[in-house]
Amino acid sequence: MGAEGIADFLPDRHENLLRRDPDKYSDMVRGVTAFGIYLIDRAGRVRSWNQGAAKITGIPEGEIIGQPFSSLFAESPAREGVPQRTLEFVRANRHSRDEQRRRRGNGDDFMAQCSLDALRSESGELLGFVEVFQDVTEQKQREDQLYQRATRDALSGLFNRGHFMEQAALEIDRARRFAEPFSVVIIDIDHFKKINDTYGHEVGDKAIAVLAHTLAKDVRKIDICGRIGGEEFALALPRANKEPAMEFAQRLRRRIAEQRLVISPGKEIGFTASLGVASLRSTTRDLAELLRNADAALYRAKREGRNRVEAWFE
Residues designated catalytic: 231
User: What own/partner pairs with CB < 8 Å and gap ≥ 24 does 205-213 have?
Assistant: 205/155, 206/261, 206/262, 207/231, 207/261, 207/271, 208/155, 208/156, 209/155, 209/156, 209/157, 210/259, 210/261, 211/156, 211/187, 211/256, 211/259, 211/273, 212/155, 212/156, 212/157, 212/158
**What is the SS3 assignment for 14?**
coil
139 C-beta neighbours (distance < 10 Å), count: 13
DSSP summary character for residue 82: H
| Closest to 224 (Cα-Cα) out of 280, 179, 171, 187 | 171
287 C-beta neighbours (distance < 10 Å), count: 22
| Terminal-residue alpha carbon distance, the chain | 73
**Residue 223 carries which side chain, given as an amino acid letter?**
D
Q: Helices marked H in the chain — which ranges?
A: 15-20, 22-29, 51-57, 61-64, 75-79, 82-93, 137-151, 161-177, 192-199, 201-218, 242-258, 287-303
Burial class of residue 210 in the structure, from the number of CB atoms within 10 Å of its CB (0-12 exposed, 13-18 middle, 19+ buried) = middle
Residue 196's φ and ψ, nearest 5 degrees, are -65, -45
